[in-house]
């Protein structure tokens, strides 16, 4: 299910967007300010952002530029600003599409589908090769010294998330929400258990890991 983060300060519009997107089988989170939107972008494993430019605390353009500093997730901008200069500025800053208010929900849904398709085409599942093991995300396969490694579904899911973000830290909250759902984001002791199991199966010396790394107080990363 595609995850969409809606950053919109108008309560009625935010609610309408959330209802419409969920009815069309999207997983939706809503932020009502630029600051909470950036927090959601950093901590929620979203696939697409719908971003209003007229936010109460930060200009939406600043939010877009901040996001583009570390993520290429598709962004569909919503704005009452209708001049060509505004549209050009947003697209040059990294927006994938620009929808002016008022708009038809059907048109917005079509633009969201198009942006998600472009992202899916661009994002080929990675193959991550370390000095000890290889992770083939497309074929859900892990090999160590040429032999397949058997992982539980949860172990595989955790490794897949890290492989899709190879070299980058994945936050504990984001990782736990992916593995166990949004209502269990504080039970971080589960992550230590799963990571210890992966290290026993994949690391040359599980007590001194060099690939499955813990960043204390922050999260975890897969280092090639």
For residues 85 and 131, state if they share a domain.
Answer: no
Sign of dihedral through CA atoms 25, 26, 29, 30?
Answer: negative
pLDDT tens track for 71-121: 788 999 999 888 888 888 898 888 889 999 999 999 999 999 988 877 665
Question: What does the pLDDT look like over 5-50, one tens digit per residue?
Answer: 999 999 999 999 999 999 999 999 999 999 999 988 877 778 899 9
- One domain, residues 99 and 133: no
The last residue of one of the domains, among 86, 102, 122, is 122
Residue-level pLDDT at 186: 58
Q: What is the pLDDT of residue 125?
A: 63
pTM: 0.56
Q: What is the CATH number of the domain that holds 167?
A: 1.10.10.10
Handedness of CA 141, 142, 145, 150 (dihedral sign): negative
Closest CA to 70 of 156, 177, 167, 150: 167
């Amino acid at each position: 299910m595609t995850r969409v983060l809606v950053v919109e300060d108008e309560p009625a519009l935010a609610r309408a967007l959330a209802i419409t997107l969920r009815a069309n089988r999207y997983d939706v989170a809503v932020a009502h300010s630029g600051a909470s939107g950036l927090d959601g972008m950093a901590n929620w494993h979203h696939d697409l952002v719908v971003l209003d430019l007229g936010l109460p605390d930060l200009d939406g353009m600043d939010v877009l530029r901040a996001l583009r500093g570390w993520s290429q997730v598709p962004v569909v901008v919503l704005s009452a600003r209708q001049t060509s200069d505004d549209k050009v500025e947003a697209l040059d800053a990294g927006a994938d599409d620009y929808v002016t208010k008022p708009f038809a929900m059907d048109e917005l849904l079509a633009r969201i589908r198009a942006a998600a398709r472009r992202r899916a085409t661009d994002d080929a599942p990675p193959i991550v090769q370390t000095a000890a093991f290889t992770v083939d995300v497309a074929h859900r396969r892990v090999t160590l010294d040429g032999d397949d490694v058997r992982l539980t579904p949860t172990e595989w899911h955790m490794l897949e998330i890290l492989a899709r973000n190879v070299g980058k830290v994945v936050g504990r909250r984001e990782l736990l929400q992916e593995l166990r759902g949004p209502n269990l984001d504080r039970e971080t002791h589960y992550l230590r258990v799963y990571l210890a199991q992966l290290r026993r199966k994949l690391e040359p010396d599980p007590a001194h890991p060099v690939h499955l790394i813990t960043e204390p107080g922050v999260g975890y990363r897969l280092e090639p």
